[in-house]
Each structure stands twice: as structure tokens, then as C-alpha cells.
Amino acid sequence: METLIQVFFNPAIVAKVWPFLLQGFGTTLMLSALVIPLGLAGGLLLALASTHASRWIRGGAMVYVDFFRAFPPLVLLIFIYFGFPFLSIEMPKLAAVALGFFLNTSSYYGEIFRAGIESIARGQMEAALSMGLKKRQAYRHIILPQAVKNVLPDLVSNTLEVIKLTTLASVVALPELLNNARQAQALTYNATPIVLAALMYLALLWPIVRLMSLLEHKHLATR
């Protein structure tokens, strides 16, 4: 037990690495705050495209979504980060990470929004248009609010996945929480920084998991 604490939760090491991990935690939050709104906006556009009247626009959106859902996000990130310099396109780390995550998350958010829009009866749009609303207004005031409400549990669940996704940035040494924890582990020859980082992720994400469960059960009950 003594040794277990020494290597897994050594108080001296916790004190030493805490500021460094906290810095990484800040970057994780910043990265999430960048990728989530971008992904939501891109997803919404994709959903509007995949429910568009034109077959070509619909098809294009579907190809995009299927393509980026089939790619593991890490593959996308490595491709952008290590492949683009061969085209003499130098990308800052943050830009490569943000682009890779955007392509991945927007396709997932897109599918969710599409399901939401399709869950609204066509009559709603017809009613809105016949009342003199423009299509744009109908989407904004009638269709989308109901669509979002219908798929709220999936949106929360995907947002959880996006925050978990940010750990992949450690592979290209972006100094987020997991990256800093691994560096600290290598410097201290001790597992404490990794365990501490895992606990920090748990503290951040567990409330979202609870919220997700709550929403899902509520959803099930109102069906």
C-alpha cells in the first residue's frame, strides 16, 4: 500500500507538478472552447446542406460526413500535421489540431443536427411559410429550436467526445493536459502525474456524463 501511494499518488510529486498540469488543463479548456463552437457551426451548415432541396448539395454533404466519420481523428491529425509540410504548407500546431478536429467533429454534429431537423414534421415548414415567414426565419424560429430540443442528449454526448478528443493533440506535442502529464512523468520517473491528470479529466468530464445520463433518461421517459 505504501509503495502504491509512493508511485501512484506521491504528495511531493503532486505538489511539484500541479502548476504544470494546471497549465495543461487551461490549454485543454481553451482548445475545447475553440473546437466546440467551430464544430457546432460547421455541423449546422452541414445539416442544412444535407436537408437541402438540391440533390447535389445533399450528396456533397453526405460524402463529406461519411468520409470524415470513417477516418479516425488521429489519422486526420497526423495527415495534416506531418503531410502538409510536404506541400510546403507550414502549419502552426494549433491550426493543424483545430483543422483536424473541426473536420471530424463537424461531421458528427452535422449528423446529429440532420436527425433533429428530420424529426420535425414537414407540415411545420409549410405552416411557417404559409404564414408569410421567409425560409430563413422559419428555420431560425420554428424548425431549429424544436430540432435542437429533440437531439439535445446527442449534442451533449458529442460535446463530451470532443473534449475527450483534445487529448489527441498530445501526439503532436501541443501542451495540453495529457501532454504535460506525460512530460512530467518522464521527468519524475513516477506515475503520479498521469494518475493526477486522469483524475483531473474525471473531475471535468464526470459531471457531463451525469448530465448526459439524466437527459437520456428524461428523453426516454417523454417518448
Q: Which residues bind another protein (CB under 8 A)?
A: 3-4, 7-8, 66-67, 69-75, 78-79, 82-83, 86-87, 119, 121, 160-161, 163-168, 170-171, 178, 182, 185, 190-191, 194-195, 197-198, 201-202, 205-206, 208-210, 212-213, 216-217, 220, 223
Sign of CA dihedral 177, 182, 187, 190: positive
Q: Which is nearer to another protein, 42 or 50 (CB)?
A: 50
Which of 8/134 has CB closer to another protein? Answer: 8
Distances (CA, A) of 172 to 18, 47, 168: 22, 31, 8
Output 82 or 134, the one with its CB closest to another protein.
Answer: 82
| CB-CB neighbours of 54 under 10 Å | 9
Least gap, CB of 194 to another protein (angstroms): 5
CB 68 → another protein: shortest distance, Å? 10
Least gap, CB of 42 to another protein (angstroms): 18
Sign for the CA dihedral angle at 178, 80, 83, 89 comes to negative
CA–CA–CA angle 18, 93, 158 (5° rounding): 75
CB of 32 to another protein, least distance (A): 12
Neighbours of 81 (CB within 10 A): 21
Nearer to another protein, 136 or 222 (CB): 222
Q: Minimum distance from CB of 132 to another protein (Å)?
A: 25
Quick one: 98 or 183, whose CB is closer to another protein?
Answer: 183
Residue 69 makes CB contacts below 8 A (sequence gap 6+) with 107, 108, 111
> Residue 173, by phi and psi: left (phi above 0), alpha (psi -120 to 50) or beta?
left
Compare residues 23 and 150 and give the one whose CB is closer to another protein. 150
Q: Which residues, in sequence order, are CB contacts of 44 under 8 Å at separation 6+?
A: 109, 110, 113
Shortest approach of another protein to residue 107 CB, angstroms?
10
